[in-house]
Amino acid sequence: MSASLAPECNQVKERYDTCFLKWYSEKFLRGNATTDECEPLFKQYKQCISKALQERGIDKMLDEARESNRDNDAEHMKGGCEYTFLLLVLQELM
């Protein structure tokens, strides 16, 4: 598993990754998933990353980049599933 963007979040990311991979392979792919059992760990990881981004001032840079590229983003979101997915993941982490 890869390291977190913020080293202080590595431990919670590792717990979430382990949980997610197990849930995905043992339940979701077999059609036995009714809920995401790893959501509490994801929320902890999201909170840790959000704090790290704020402390480093990266959250403001992301907001500025989003604002300055709003029209460009709208154009790319018309047909690119991969790009749309990436944006959704980034938004979820914020």
Quote the radius of gyration of the chain (alpha carbons, Å).
16
Split at pLDDT 50, 70, 90, the class of 67 is confident
pLDDT tens, position by position, 11-51: 999 999 999 999 999 999 999 988 889 999 999 999 999 99
Domain ranges of the chain: 1-56, 57-94
pLDDT tens, position by position, 71-84: 776 666 665 555 56
Between CA 54 and CA 84 the distance in angstroms is: 24
Mean of the per-residue pLDDT values for the chain?
A: 83
Task: Determine the length of the chain.
Answer: 94
Give the DSSP letter of residue 5: S
